[in-house]
Structure formats: structure tokens, C-alpha cells
Chains A and B, each alone.
Chain A
Amino acid sequence: MFRIIKKSLKTGVVTGQYPESERPSEPINPAVTKRAKPFRRSLAIREVDTGSCNACEMEMNALLNPVYDAERFGIHIVASPRHADALVVTGPVTVNMERAMKDVHKQTPDPKIVIALGDCAINCGIFKGSYAVTGPVERHIPVDVRIPGCPPRPAEILEALSELRKERP
């Protein structure tokens, strides 16, 4: 017990110890910000991987570590699309995942926001055109926010999410 406390004290607070995002996030359509209004203080996210290379997932996971600690902004990850306010989709949509992704979208209650995370989700990236890929997320469900990068850094993801939370007159 003593050792645990000692270690925690020695480590101190690490939250926020990351370089600021250098890339300004893309402007968000005002209609989307309006729709996101109820989620300003609490945003429940369901992550759906439709065929990524798993680096984008890893950066989503990094948001939850003590350094980024997205929970301090009221952002949390939920286990089911039925509990979600926003879907974060990563990867090009593969032939095999198309149906599952559409189902998840249908199961998410309105109002909802769809966030395409990473170049693959936005334009299929390097997998564009393949027989096994049916197209970017946009082709199947409406996308509200795009976070480019291969993969985007966690700081950039946070930046884009906080853009969504900003109060606007």
C-alpha cells in the first residue's frame, strides 16, 4: 500500500503533458455544432472500425490514458451504439463490414454525430479502389466531422472534439 502511494506521489500529475496540436482542425459546419449542442458537456462516443490498419484505433485508445485523459472534458467511450451520441468511424469501409456499419448507424439514437477519423475513413487512403473496399464512410452514412491524418495525433483528435464543444453565440 505504502509503495503504491509513494509511486503515485513520485509520478505526480501527467495530464496535459503533450505537445499541442500544430494542425488547426477543420472548421465545423455550424449546423453540426448546433446539433451537437446537447453534447457540449458530455459526449458519449462509440468507436467503429470498418477496416482500418489499427493505428487510428490506437490513437483513440490513447485519448483515455492519463496523459490526454479525455474524460476531463466529459468525453467518454460507451460500449454500445445505443448509448452513444457520436460515432467515430475509422478505416475504409470494407465489403465485409458495410452491413455492420450501417446497422450501428441505425442503432444510434438521434440526434447523433458521425466523425470520420483518419484519411482512410475520409477518402480510403492507400486502400482506395480495392475490390474489398466499398468506399469512404461518407458513401454509406452522412459524415459531420472529419479529422484527417494517418493517423491523426491524439492532440489533434482532442482539438477537433473540443471545436465541437465550443460555445458559439
Chain B
Amino acid sequence: MTDSPSPERSIEQQIQTVFPSLIPDYPSGTALARYRTDTHQLPELVRFLHEKMRGRLALLFAVDCRPLEKKCELQYLFAFKSRQPFVLVTTELIGEERLFTSITPSIHAAQWYEREIRDLFGLIPQGHPDLRRLVRHEHWPKGTHPLQKDFSWNHVLERQQGEYRFSHIEGEGVFEVPVGPIHAGIIEPGHFRFSVAGEPIMQLEVRHFWKHRGVEKLFEQLPLIDAVLLAERVSGDTTIGHSLAYCQAVETLLHLNVPRRAKYLRSLFLELERLYNHLGDIGAMCNDTAYALAHAHCGRMKEQVMQLNDRLVGSRFLRGVMQVGGVSWDVDRSQLRNIVQELNGIQKDFSEVGAIIFVNASLTDRLETTGVLTERIAWDHAVTGVVGRASGMDQDVRRDRPFAAYDELPVNVALYRYGDARARLRVRGDEIHESIRLIREIQARIPDGPIAVKPDRSATPGAWAIAAVEGWRGEILYFVMAGTDGRIRRCKVRDPSFANWPAIQWAVLGNIIPDFPLINKSFNLSYAGNDL
């Protein structure tokens, strides 16, 4: 689906032909072309990028430029197929201007981003079909927009009366089933509102942001170097993914050259994280079909990897290993050998378990054709990661925009087209084998040398960088802008969950409610990373 009309010409050339007045600039460090445009031309330009050039809207966010300049910037980041640079489109709202044109009517993927901007910055997307609150629940007082610069980070919010209006379907025999925010299992809080007629789901509305902790505002209170700690805690199960993406953005700002050995170790940790999460997910999916045996085996293997992490760096979640400039833990030769040995064991173990679970007819029956996310809808919502790859979206940052040591470690990307729960299970299964293979490669190729460099200068205030990392869920994006005194002026975090949550509303249609936990688990999105 990501074919561009004339692949031999670069994206910049094609933009040049249609919009001759636009001249790109190339900020140093990040592989992207940036176009500045005014609010009138913007909708046309983004529509061209999305529809004609098949660009995926990867990120949309705002920056409040006060106190330097009295304006707000809106940034639209597009990703194209393999190895092409990002295109960033910037437009600004000067002074008190608060209205901007919504692009949601033509690019569906923008809908949550624009609602988020409205809540956090008080800018209003004109023409957006749904202007209900997203992040700020109804009890937040009017006019509170936490990411505006004059809103203090430790402001104490009052409560007001208010009620969220769910969209209703009316008709004979249609009834609504509210679920959450507190669920039956040990999972995070979120609210799901189903409209059903008989058994099949006619509509699902996801209402999230119960866990909004103000992460992006907290980033703005921290020095660039220390904020790794916070990045690790954006979504606990993606400790490495988030901290790595954050570090990469800051390293670009500080012009740091990370030593090769550190890059290999970063890949090692990232793959370990992928491993334990995928193992757990496969087990949990089986558990939701009441297949306890597979759950027990997978839970055991997941635990084995987490204990391995603990022995390696003293944290089951690999906390505290990432630092700006490299990593803070070295893994020596004998440890590497042990890791590979243990993982070889796990691979064999997993293959044996896989041979049992993948041929289980009742499991297959539950998974096949359950929760189908078509390629079309996946594309419309700019879905990323495991969920995307199960629906035929051939994208993986490790291959498309190599970071860490992936320029020397080619990754075989797992790709399935059916888009059902089984495809998502298969993607994870394949990625487990691939991760173990990559770790073997890392052991064979890792060079000697230092594991970190010290930052030797501070970032220019106002400089910014974007970094992308393929975490185990999918593409993690960080935009970091430096402020004065080595602090952060703005940090935009995009966990893959934020892009994927709206898509689940489509994947469940026509399925029955008892299958929802299974479908939800097969997506396994983070609530913490989404709510920020």
C-alpha cells in the first residue's frame, strides 16, 4: 500500500513539481526534510503527501513558542516507505490566533492528535467532526490547557460538573454495555462502551486518558540529561524502547557520537525487551481463549527472560541501563555467551510449545477471523508495529530507518496479511525467533571499546530533534526541543499505542463481546503510554 506513483523521483522533487513555491530546509542530525507553509496551503499539502505520495501521518503535535516568540507551531510528520527521509510540515499560529484547519476530514489518523492539541494547548481544529474532550475529562475546569507555557506544572486542578457524551446507536434491541475504567483482570484502566444488537458488536467507543499523569509537562521541568529516568517510566513494559528513543533525540541535539559497542548493547537490550513481552503476549492471548497450558508455558519462559535481565543488569525491566551518550552497563564476553546459551534453550523450548499450540484446532478456531483489521483501515489510521505488520503494513523502523546497531544487523520483517488475531499471534511468534537470531548475531559481531561518551557541550536553546525506535509494540517517536540551562523546552512522546487504539474500534465490529478481551490482548496496547 505504500507505493508512490513514481518511485524513481525523490519525494522532494515531487513536492517541488506540485508546490514550486515550497523550499525545504534540512535540520542537521535528523534525516528529514522540513517545509514551512501557511495555514491556507497546509491542508492541500498534507493531503497531497498522504494521498498521492502515500505518506503515513506518523505524528502531529504543537509547540508553544512563548516566551521567545508569541506563537504556536503545529508540526505534521509524515513517514514514507523504506529508507526515505521523513517530511515535516510546519505551520504557525501567530499571537492570539487559536483556530487552525482540521485535516481529519481527509486524513483519519489525525483525529486523536487534533483533539489532544485542543485539550492541551487550547487551539481549535476547525472542521473536526468530533470536538469532545479527549485527555481532559469533563470534570476539568474550562480553560485549563496544561501544555501552554503559562500553565504551571504543579497547578492544582479544581473540579467542575460535566458529563461525557458517548455516541449512541438507537433502535429496537440495541443496548449498551459499559466496561471499565477498572477491569476484571490485572490490567490498566480504560473505558469501553459497546453497542450491541443481540451478540455482534455494532459500535465500540474507547474512552481513555484515565492515567494521564502530565508526562510531557513533567519533561519540561527536567534537564536533558536526567530525563531518561522519566522516559523509562512512560510505559514500564517498554522501558528500553522509550529511553532509547529519548536518548537518541538528545544525542542528536548534543552532537554526540555513540560508540559502536554501546550501539550493539542497545540493540541487545531492545531485543531482550521484545522477547519477554512477546512471550508474555502469546501466553496471555492463549489464556483469553481459556488455553491455560500455553499460558503457563509462555509465562514460565517470560519469567526466565526477566530473571536473565535481572541477573544481567539488576533490573527485571532493564531499568537504568540507558544513558545519554551510550549505556551504563557493559556485558562482557562470558555473559554474552551465557545469554546466547540460555536463549538457545528458550528458542528450542518455544518451538516445542509452538508445535503444540499452533496445531491446536480449537485455538485456531478462536483466533482465525477474529478481530480482523483490514489493511485499508490499518492504513487509514496509520497503525504501526505488530498490529500493522499483521495487517500487511510492511514497516519496521529497524529496517526502514536503522538506529542502534541495526545498520549492520539486517532484520527480517515478519509480515502477514489477514489482520486477524491469529496473524498478530504469528507476527509475535516469528519475531521471537528473529530476536534470538539477532542476539546471536550481536554476540558474534560486537566490537570492543567504550560503552559511553560524556556529553561535552550543551544544546543550543531552540534546537530540536526527532528520533524513532522500533519498540516491541511498534514505532516510538520522540520530539525533543532544548531550552535554556540544559533543560527541555518541549518533549512530544508518541507511543505506538496512541496510533493503534482508535483502530481497535474497527477491528471489533461484528465480533461478539466475549471475544473482545482476546482482540484487545492481541493488540496489547499500553494505556500508560497512550494517556501520558
Contacts and interface: CB of A to CB of B under 8 A. Distances in A.
B209 A151 contact: no
Contacts of A67: 299-300, 303
A130 B297 contact: no
A132 B182 CA distance: 19
Interface in B212-270: 212-215, 217-218, 229-230, 233-237, 239
B317 interface: yes
A48 to B, nearest CB: 6
Interface string B402-434: 000000000000000000000000000000000
Contacts, number: 154
Contact of B217 (A58, A61, A68, A131): A131
Interface stretch (B51-59, B73-81, B197-205, B351-359): B351-359
A65 B298 CA distance: 9
B157 interface: yes
Assign chain A's interface to a size class: 35 or more
Interface stretch (B100-108, B186-194, B363-371): B186-194
Given A7-B297, A62-B303, A132 B189 contact: no
Contacts of A19: 307, 310
Nearest to A47: B186
B233 to A, nearest CB: 4
A153 B316 contact: yes
Interface stretch (B4-12, B62-70, B147-155): B147-155
B235 A54 contact: yes
Contacts of A92: 213
A54 B532 CA distance: 12
B181 interface: yes
A80 B184 contact: yes
Contacts of B48: none
B186 A66 contact: no
B72 interface: no
Given A55-B317, A58-B237, A151-B236, A96 B212 contact: yes
B232 to A, nearest CB: 8
A50 B299 CA distance: 25
B115 to A, nearest CB: 15
B211 A131 contact: no
Given A65-B300, A130-B214, A55 B239 contact: yes
A127 B233 CA distance: 9
A131 B210 contact: no
Contacts of B157: 95, 131-132
B296 A94 contact: no
Contacts of A131: 146, 151-157, 214, 217
Nearest to A60: B186
B389 interface: no
A31 interface: no
B439 to A, nearest CB: 22
A9 interface: no
B174 interface: no
Q: How large is the interface on B (under 10, 10 to 19, 20 to 34, 35 or more residues)?
A: 35 or more
A80 B156 CA distance: 32
Nearest to B234: A53
A62 B297 CA distance: 13
B435 interface: no
A91 B215 CA distance: 13
Nearest to B218: A130
A56 interface: yes
A110 B386 CA distance: 44
A97 B181 contact: yes
Nearest to B357: A4
A81 to B, nearest CB: 8
A51 B239 contact: no
A86 to B, nearest CB: 13
Given A54-B527, A126-B230, A133 B186 contact: no
A68 to B, nearest CB: 8
A130 B154 contact: yes
B516 interface: no
Contacts of A153: 310, 316
A127 B532 CA distance: 11
Contacts of B233: 53, 55, 125-127, 150
Contacts of B151: 131
B319 interface: yes
A57 B188 contact: yes
Interface in B456-506: none
Contacts of B229: 126
A31 B470 CA distance: 50
A127 B211 CA distance: 12
A11 B300 contact: yes
A66 B300 contact: yes
Contact of B299 (A54, A65, A97, A151): A65
A80 B180 CA distance: 11
A95 B356 contact: no
B211 A66 contact: no
Contact of B528 (A18, A53, A150): A53
B159 to A, nearest CB: 9
B34 interface: no
A104 B184 CA distance: 12
B236 A95 contact: no
Contact of A129 (B154, B236, B316, B528): B154
Given A7-B356, A55-B317, A132-B213, A61 B186 contact: yes
Interface string A94-123: 111101100010000000000000000000
Contacts of B302: 65
A79 interface: yes
Nearest to A91: B211
Contacts of B382: none
Q: Which 4 A-B pairs have the closest CB atoms?
A: A55-B236, A65-B299, A79-B184, A132-B214
Given A53-B234, A131-B157, 13 more contacts: A7-B297, A48-B182, A49-B189, A51-B210, A52-B528, A57-B187, A65-B296, A95-B212, A96-B210, A100-B189, A132-B146, A132-B212, A150-B233
23 contacts: A7-B297, A11-B300, A18-B303, A47-B186, A52-B211, A53-B235, A54-B526, A57-B186, A62-B306, A67-B300, A79-B185, A95-B157, A96-B212, A97-B210, A100-B181, A126-B230, A127-B233, A129-B154, A130-B213, A131-B156, A131-B214, A132-B157, A151-B236
